[in-house]
Amino acid sequence: MFERYPVSKITANFLRVLLDHYRLRYFHEVCAHYVRIVHERKGMVSALVRSASPLAESDLAALRESFGRVTSKKVALDVRTDPALLGGVVVQIGSTVYDGSIRTQLDEVRRCLTNI
């Protein structure tokens, strides 16, 4: 079964269990949960970073440092480009979203101006 793509015996057994119990469709969720457990044990946290354009390595290092101070953990960044953003970044750590996007700032200015 795994001749084309050789994997370890443990991995092959795990995949067979998923397949035998019709759970292969949950493979991505299982992997994501596994990564969360490993990060938790290593004192790490995952952060999803969305930006309008690719970020420089210095910017990524600054984000890691800033959110490392906020969470008191090492931060693993999952960086994605989102063309829907005008500029800035949106960072999600767990269920908390830090929105530093231009769109949100413009919406805040509009809200302030209409309340005058």
Q: Would you list the domain boundaries of the chain?
A: 1-42, 45-116
Over residues 35-46, the mean pLDDT reads 91
pLDDT over 90 (residue 92): yes
Question: Cβ contacts of residue 71 below 8 Å, gap of 6+?
Answer: 45, 93
Q: Does the pTM exceed 0.85?
A: no
Is the CB of residue 83 less than 8 Å from the CB of residue 97? no
Cα–Cα distance measured from residue 6 to residue 49, given in angstroms and rounded to the nearest whole number: 33
Please say if the pLDDT value at position 1 is more than 70: no
Give the pLDDT of residue 19.
Answer: 92
Selection from 40, 111, 102, 50 nearest residue 73 by Cα: 40
Mean pLDDT for all residues in the chain: 91
| CA-closest candidate to residue 73, choices 39, 48, 99 | 39
Three-state SS for 8? coil
Q: What is the pLDDT averaged over residues 32-58? A: 93
